[in-house]
Amino acid sequence: NYTKLDKLIIGVCGGDGIGPMITGMAQHALEALLADKVKAGKVEFRVIDGLTIERRAELGCAIPPDVMEELKQCHVILKGPTTTPRKGDPWPNVESANVAMRKALDLFANVRPVKVPELGIDWTFYRENTEGGYAVGSQGVQIADDLFIDFTVATSQGCERIARLAFDYARKTGKNRVSCVTKANIIKTTDGKFLDTCQRVAKEYPEVEFDDWYIDIMTAKLLDEKRRRDFKVVVLPNLYGDIITDEAAEIQGGVGTAGSANIGKRYAMFEAIHGSAPRMVQEGRAQYADPSSVLRASVMLLEHIGEIELANKLDRALDICMFEEKKVVVNGRDTGATAQEFTDYVLETIAKL
Amino acid sequence: NYTKLDKLIIGVCGGDGIGPMITGMAQHALEALLADKVKAGKVEFRVIDGLTIERRAELGCAIPPDVMEELKQCHVILKGPTTTPRKGDPWPNVESANVAMRKALDLFANVRPVKVPELGIDWTFYRENTEGGYAVGSQGVQIADDLFIDFTVATSQGCERIARLAFDYARKTGKNRVSCVTKANIIKTTDGKFLDTCQRVAKEYPEVEFDDWYIDIMTAKLLDEKRRRDFKVVVLPNLYGDIITDEAAEIQGGVGTAGSANIGKRYAMFEAIHGSAPRMVQEGRAQYADPSSVLRASVMLLEHIGEIELANKLDRALDICMFEEKKVVVNGRDTGATAQEFTDYVLETIAKL
Ligand SMILES: CC(C)[C@H](C(=O)O)[C@@H](O)C(=O)O
Ligand SMILES: CC(C)[C@H](C(=O)O)[C@@H](O)C(=O)O
């Protein structure tokens, strides 16, 4: 319970590319919303530099030790996108900082809401965040000359804690429907375990409807105008969660519009679901990057620290800007509004609520 | 080269649910189109019964041995959807017949075209069809009490043959662009191998543009109206091919509208990409099932056996019915046309070409 803390420390970790700028916007919005508590010394924002691809490459690690140290002193973290090297990039092959942070802080639940009011869409994805194809990192094996193997991992404990979180949320919010997505007809052992576990947990929540889908058909169902409104809370293994939330975010208006909460027992980290967009920076267009992803992540951060009323206000203002007035959200692309102008307009909208 | 055969044998394997009916429609269309050759004894249709979930369950196998025997005597196979038992179904846990057939006949390439002329979409997916998460079947392992593992597999040979087929097709058709889709930033060993191989093969096709994407962002890109037209030929590992082609098919009008070719060195099998829809049968609506998936598969069958002109005609007629006149394609759902009426209308349309 964060409200009982003497001082709540919010770490702001900018990351790469457009990251520092958009997290700066989110910090700006949060500081405005939490101004009283900041003034009273009850909330502190702590900017954490040094989670950059240059330093990570230099040190050859996913997260520099000093950054990790600082992260662990925060209660919650707001994080910008970080660059994961691709083949052909100038950097050596360091691991994804997102994935490393999720594992190091045991952030087992990746919660990704997507909504499009005019289409009747209001989805919350509960992506398992530490197992599946992500558990073993790059430790696949080569056997003999020409056999390459990767591993997918599941544990009952891992499946159960994400399932419970999804069902608790479905019950608490009255959404009352959980859909489980796997490929248990093929990936039988691990996805089978995931599905079994969800089915078992479902029995403890008789008021919550439960159904299950295969990941292939689920990507089609998200586009089915008649059926997709039925989905409410969706729980899925790591990789399927990764895949399907990008599709869902695109339906909402683009991956640039979706925020994500990475929740563990002790820590919580809030981030955009998109990448660091180095090209925008190179082309000098960084100030037009869409901050709505980190602002949505900030809604979840506020909720998480118990500031429900502020969370609702920020969420409502974003809805107004993105779905009702519409003209501002498509910032940069169509209206020429900068991230700063957009963020200020969101704050003005809150003031008028 | 099939045109040199004394007699070409086309196996028709109905499968489960709506399968026998819709493959019957495809056979009906193919018999009409190939009528001269059938009369002259140069083409024979051979209906293969017994690939039903009841028999498979009874024998406890994915494909009954007598069916496999018969399949191997055919040159090409037209196959209806087959039921893969799900948890809670009355059947014991027999393997997917699709997957078993792909492996047994070494049908390493799953080719799935999707087009929506009015949106400028003309995609051909080359899905690797024997490796990835599908290679080891259900042989995952449980280690100690609570660690479950599945395996994903790749070989250079497996990656290379699908890559070559995709590039050959891109060059031959003048589509001149191949996009590779993996999650090589996480599934590093096998997806890394797949991507490496595609990059290496790409060098041998300098006239074909090459790019690569991660599967998560690719599900978003397929929905991006500005960018998606750039995709032409897409090559991907098994599971991502499974996932993304259902999304693509939905954009085309539903998984019920997409056909698929499973191609190997010696055999080829053509099928719908959707399931057996047992509910339609139970509810007495089987005659309204959409046969356009197997008719699209028949286009590929005709191409494959060298009947390019007939293939083009059938394809053109389907385009007219599905995209231009539109009223017939939504058969059953909106117009009340049966599969038979739809198929006959497609044949009438061909006659008028
Ligand atoms: C950057 C990448 C490793 C990461 C993931 O796959 O989880 C990203 O796509 C995400 O969804 O946060
Ligand atoms: C039925 C299932 C095993 C199969 C697959 O996963 O390949 C199907 O979805 C397909 O795409 O043909």
Tell me the pLDDT tens digit for each residue of B184-221: 999 999 999 999 999 999 999 999 999 999 999 999 99
- CA gap A195, A198 in Å, rounded: 5
Contact across the interface for B219 and A184, Cβ inside 8 Å: no
**Which residues of chain B neighbour A186 with C-beta distances below 8 Å?**
96, 99, 133-134, 239
Out of B199, B223, B254, a domain closes at B254
* Chain B, nearest residue to A225 by Cα: B250
Q: Are residues B191 and B293 in the same domain?
A: no
Ligand 1 contacts CB of residue B217 (under 6 A): no
Check which CATH number belongs to the domain holding A157 and give it. Answer: 3.40.718.10
Amino acid of residue A4? K
For a mutational test of ligand 2's pocket, the pick from B53, B242, B250, B274, i.e. the residue with the most ligand atoms closer than 8 A to its C-beta, is B242
- CA gap B326, B314 in Å, rounded: 16
In chain A, how many domains are there?
2
Whole-number Cα distances in Å, B14 to A19, A145, A294, B282? 54, 41, 52, 17
Check residue A262 and give its pLDDT: 98
Q: What is the pLDDT of residues B270-292, one digit of tens each?
A: 999 899 999 999 999 899 999 99
Between CA B230 and CA B233, with CA B231 as vertex, the angle to 5 degrees is 140
- Is there a domain that residue A279 lies in? yes
- Is there a domain that residue A293 lies in? yes
Out of B210, B226, B254, a domain closes at B254
Bridge partners (DSSP) listed for residue A82: none
Ligand 1 contacts CB of residue A98 (under 6 A): yes
- Is there a domain that residue B259 lies in? no
Q: Are residues B329 and B247 in the same domain?
A: no
Pick among A143, A216, A242 to test the B interface (most B CBs inside 10 A): A216
Chain-centroid distance of CA B141 in Å reads 30
Q: CA of B200 to nearest chain A CA: how many angstroms apart?
A: 13
Check residue A137 and give its pLDDT: 64
Ligand 1 contacts CB of residue A273 (under 6 A): yes
- Report the percent of chain B where pLDDT is more than 70: 97
Residue among A153, A188, A191 whose CB faces B147 most closely: A153
Ligand 2 contacts CB of residue A216 (under 6 A): yes
Looking at the complex, does the CB of residue A334 fall below 8 Å from at least one CB of chain B?
A: no
Identify the band that residue A123 occupies on the pLDDT scale cut at 50, 70 and 90.
very high
Contact across the interface for A190 and B245, Cβ inside 8 Å: no
- Is there a domain that residue A112 lies in? no
Q: Ligand 1: which residue has its CA nearest to atom 11?
A: A242
Q: Are residues B249 and B158 in the same domain?
A: yes
Q: What is the pLDDT of residues A81-118, one digit of tens each?
A: 999 888 778 888 888 999 999 999 999 999 999 999 99
> Locate tokens 């000093």: which residue?
A66
Q: What is the pLDDT of residues A138-174, one digit of tens each?
A: 678 999 889 999 999 999 999 999 999 999 999 999 9
Looking at the complex, does the CB of residue B250 fall below 8 Å from at least one CB of chain A?
A: yes
- Report the percent of chain A where pLDDT is more than 70: 97
Q: What is the pLDDT of residues A170-203, one digit of tens each?
A: 999 999 999 999 999 999 999 999 999 999 999 9
Q: Are residues A16 and A86 in the same domain?
A: yes
- Is there a domain that residue A194 lies in? yes
Check residue B329 and give its pLDDT: 47
- Is there a domain that residue B155 lies in? yes
Residue among A148, A215, A245 whose CB faces B189 most closely: A148
Q: Are residues A168 and A236 in the same domain?
A: yes
Q: Are residues B119 and B223 in the same domain?
A: yes
Q: Are residues B7 and B68 in the same domain?
A: yes
Q: Are residues B199 and B181 in the same domain?
A: yes
Structure tokens at B316: 């053109």
- Is there a domain that residue A231 lies in? yes
Q: Are residues B87 and B139 in the same domain?
A: no
- What residue numbers bound the domain in which B161 lies? 114-254
Distance B98 CA to ligand 2 centre (A): 7
Q: Are residues B96 and B119 in the same domain?
A: no
Residue among A133, A154, A245 whose CB faces B186 most closely: A133
Q: Are residues B237 and B309 in the same domain?
A: no
Out of B254, B279, B310, a domain closes at B254
Q: Are residues B223 and B243 in the same domain?
A: yes
Identify the band that residue B351 occupies on the pLDDT scale cut at 50, 70 and 90.
very high
